[in-house]
Amino acid sequence: MTAQIAADAGQQPDRKTRTHWIIAILAMTVLLSACAPNLAPRGPGAPDGPVMAEDHFATSDGLVLPLRHWLPPSATEASTTDSATATSGNEPEIKGVILALHGFNDYSRSFENPGKVLAALGLAVYAYDQRGFGEAPHRGLWAGSDVLTSDLTDASRALRQRHPGKPLYLLGESMGGAVVLAAFNSANPPDADGVILSAPAVWARSTMPWYQRTALWLSAHTIPWAKFTGSGLKIQASDNIEMLRGLGRDPLVIKGTRVAAIHGLVNLMDQALSAAPALDRPALLLYGEKDEIVPREPTLQLWAMLPKERRSEQSLALYSNGWHMLLRDLDAGIVLADILQWTEDQAQAKKAGAGPAPLPSGAGKRAREALEAFEQPPEDELSHAKAGTASDS
* pLDDT tens per residue, range 216-251: 888 888 878 788 777 777 899 999 999 999 999 999
Percentage of the chain lying above the pLDDT 90 cut? 66
Instruction: Give the pLDDT score at 232.
Output: 72
- Read off the pLDDT of residues 351-380 as tens digits, 9 standing for 90 and up: 666 667 899 999 999 999 999 999 987 665
Residue with the larger pLDDT of the pair 20 and 111: 111
Instruction: Give the pLDDT score at 378.
Output: 66
Q: What are phi and psi of 332, to 5 degrees?
A: -60, -30
* Residue 47, pLDDT above cutoff 80: no
Determine how β-strand 168-173 pairs with β-strand 227-228.
unpaired
Mean pLDDT value of segment 59-79: 84
What's the chain's length in residues? 393
Report the chain's mean pLDDT, rounded to a whole number.
Answer: 85
Instruction: Give the pLDDT score at 153.
Output: 97
Amino acid type, 213? R
Classified as helix, coil or strand, 288 is: strand
Q: Which helix (H) or strand (E) holds 96?
A: strand 96-101
Q: How far apart are the C-alpha atoms of 207 and 213, rounded to whole Å?
A: 10
**Contact 198/171 with Cβ under 8 angstroms?**
yes
Grade residue 29 by pLDDT with cuts at 50, 70 and 90. Answer: very low
Mean pLDDT value of segment 83-94: 51
Q: Which helix (H) or strand (E) holds 315?
A: strand 314-319
Residue with the larger pLDDT of the pair 245 and 88: 245
* Residue 25, pLDDT above cutoff 50: no
- Read off the pLDDT of residues 314-359 as tens digits, 9 standing for 90 and up: 999 999 999 999 999 999 999 999 999 999 998 777 666 666 789 9
Mean pLDDT value of segment 197-205: 97
Classified as helix, coil or strand, 93 is: coil
Instruction: Give the pLDDT score at 18.
Output: 55
Q: How far apart are the C-alpha atoms of 70 and 386, rounded to whole Å?
A: 57
Instruction: Give the pLDDT score at 356.
Output: 74
* Residue 27, pLDDT above cutoff 50: no
Grade residue 386 by pLDDT with cuts at 50, 70 and 90. Answer: low
Instruction: Give the pLDDT score at 190.
Output: 96
Helical spans, DSSP H, in 44-165: 73-79, 83-86, 112-120, 145-162
Classified as helix, coil or strand, 243 is: helix
Within 10 A of 340 (CB to CB), how many other CB atoms are there? 18
- Read off the pLDDT of residues 182-196 as tens digits, 9 standing for 90 and up: 999 999 999 999 999
* Residue 131, pLDDT above cutoff 50: yes
**Which of 82-91, 188-197, 307-316 has the lowest average pLDDT?**
82-91
* Residue 123, pLDDT above cutoff 50: yes
- Read off the pLDDT of residues 258-309 as tens digits, 9 standing for 90 and up: 999 999 999 999 999 999 999 999 999 999 999 999 999 999 999 999 999 8
Instruction: Give the pLDDT score at 351.
Output: 64
Please give the model's pTM, rounded to 2 decimal places.
Answer: 0.84
Grade residue 35 by pLDDT with cuts at 50, 70 and 90. Answer: low
Q: What are phi and psi of 168, to 5 degrees?
A: -115, 125
Residue with the larger pLDDT of the pair 236 and 18: 236
- Read off the pLDDT of residues 158-191 as tens digits, 9 standing for 90 and up: 999 999 999 999 999 999 999 999 999 999 999 9
Instruction: Give the pLDDT score at 8.
Output: 38
